[in-house]
Copies of this chain bind each other. A is one copy, B any other.
Amino acid sequence: MQQRLGVIDLGSNTTRLIIMSYRSHHSFRLLDEVRENVRLAEGIGEDGRLKQAPMDRAVATMRLYNRLCQSADVAEIIPVATSAAREATNGAEFLARVEREAGLTFRVLSTEEEAYYGYLGVANTLNLSDAFSIDIGGGSTQVAMIRGRRFIRSISQPIGALRLTDRFVKSDPISPKDFKALEQAAAERFADVDWLDQHGSSELAGIGGTIRTLADIDQKRRNYPIGLTHAYVFTREHLAETIDLLRGMTVHQREDVPGLNRDRADLILAGAVILHTVMKRGKFSQITVSGQGVREGLFYERFLAGEDPPLFADLRGFSIQNMARNFNYEAIHAAKVRDLSLSLFDQLTPLHGYGVWERELLGYAATLHDIGLAVGYYDHHRHGAYLIQSTALQGFSHREIALLALMVRYHRKGDVDTSELRMLLEDDDTQRVARLAALLRLSEFLERRKSQVVQSLRVEIGADVRVLARTSGDADIEIWDANRSTGLFRKSYGREMEIMAEKR
């Protein structure tokens, strides 16, 4: 049955609460998220003590978070604290006060644990095997090495966007001298982390608000056609350009930079420098943004309780199932459309020549093809596409998300037009969508009454293509509708198709 879990992350700069509704090992969805810029580590000096004002802000915010969880019927709360509380000389005493006044007993994550949960968030969110993850916080930065989806090792350095800003940004805009010092301080921290080199072909995955914000800025500059930050990829070159742009601006001027959230305008530069330093150090030419991190890692440990490590065995498959379930899809109908689509795909391989990747995507599109009905009947193919390209599907690239959205968009009617999503696609993807959507469309109409009357299909490839349907009963409607829908097949495969019931 459904449970509700709250995860609170008390960082040096921001604090966040997420509330998840879930059925263990089955499905989940985010119910609520609150973010507050407490800046707990603000003004920490040589004595390493948290200051009074930030502590008061934090206590007040935690009290509010706790009440929010109560009002939302959250059964369990997992509150964790990171570098600020971890390193402050008065951290323990501060957390004791939080427990007294806010009723929350915080767990202080070690640097290793912080890196581990960030890894869990990434490895359950992005489709990667050998990679590095970087999590830039307000007070510290964690880098982890991932091999075969497993956590190998990590390093944590006590430099974060807030801390470096406090220490090096003395003028507005920052002076060339201060900027140089900032770069050096960051570089020194990773100079002797040799294992960062040995990444061969590994990818870099980025966690945290700083990196998400840098992605938002990059998307705005490029007029990126969809609003998803998760799984967005941007290059080191672009990052360098963003840094050059920001370092010439005052904090106030930065507030007008599209994609840059006002309350990050002051810290973003230091954060960007840390990222650029690590990318240079590890010779990463690009970074893939993870929309999830430590908080979600803690959630997955609970959601996947019993798995060791708590990773989705089939990340992409789960992600599609989860979305379909969240929109109350008709499982039996979807499964039949999927079977018919894949049967056509396999038997038509001589014509399309596609492989396992396209087959996998076609199957996922079939599972999701009708979710748009949750919006409304008219144009539900458009609605389905909207839902897919508005959802941070775990384990898929933006190109794959675009392909899925377009297959669903054209699963009923229309000539394929991919122009709106061109920026996400490769040259031959328009034909790819047309050929795959054509099979999905035929299968959908062969399931017209959602009655599974068509049992199996036999394809005969000649000058034309004949499809013989073995049925469990009268399938006039289905055959009739399918034959009305062969236009996209004809256009995309260059052959006529005829569907008929198989004589018994």
- State the A residues within 8 Å of B (CB): 29-33, 60, 63-64, 67-68, 71-72, 227, 326, 374-379, 382-383, 386-387, 390-392, 448-451, 474, 476-477, 480
List B contacts of A375 (CB < 8 A).
Answer: 374-375, 387, 390
A389 to chain B, nearest CB (A): 11
A495: shortest Cβ distance to chain B, in Å? Answer: 20
The residues of B that contact A386 with a CB separation of less than 8 Å are 386
Are the CB atoms of B374 and A379 closer together than 8 Å?
no
- Which of B71, B378, B392, B474 is close to A449, meaning CB atoms less than 8 Å apart? B71
| Cβ contacts under 8 Å, A451 to chain B | 71
A490 to B383, CA, bound (A): 36
Give A367 Cβ to nearest chain B Cβ, in Å. Answer: 18
| 8 Å CB contact of A64 from B33, B392, B477 | B477
Smallest CB gap from A65: residue in B: B477
- Identity of the chain B residue whose Cβ is nearest the Cβ of A373 in the assembled complex: B31
Min CB distance, A425 to chain B, in Å? Answer: 22
Closest residue of chain B to A18, judged by CB? Answer: B377
A386 CB, nearest partner CB in chain B, Å: 6
19 more A-B contacts (CB under 8 A) besides A30-B376, A33-B377, A67-B474? A30-B377, A30-B378, A31-B377, A32-B377, A33-B378, A63-B476, A64-B477, A67-B449, A67-B477, A68-B477, A71-B449, A326-B376, A375-B375, A375-B387, A375-B390, A376-B391, A378-B392, A382-B390, A386-B386
A244 to B71, CA, bound (A): 64
What B residues does A391 contact at CB under 8 A? Answer: 376
Name the distance in Å between A257's Cβ and chain B's nearest Cβ. 14
- Offer 18 A-B interface pairs, CB within 8 angstroms, sorted by A: A30-B376, A33-B377, A60-B476, A63-B476, A64-B476, A67-B449, A68-B448, A68-B449, A72-B449, A227-B382, A326-B376, A374-B374, A375-B375, A376-B391, A378-B392, A379-B390, A382-B390, A386-B386
Q: A376 to B390, alpha carbons, bound, how many Å?
A: 9
Complex CA gap A67/B448 in Å reads 11
Nearest chain B CB to A31's CB is how many angstroms away? 6
User: Contacts of A387 on B, CB cut-off 8 Å?
Assistant: 375
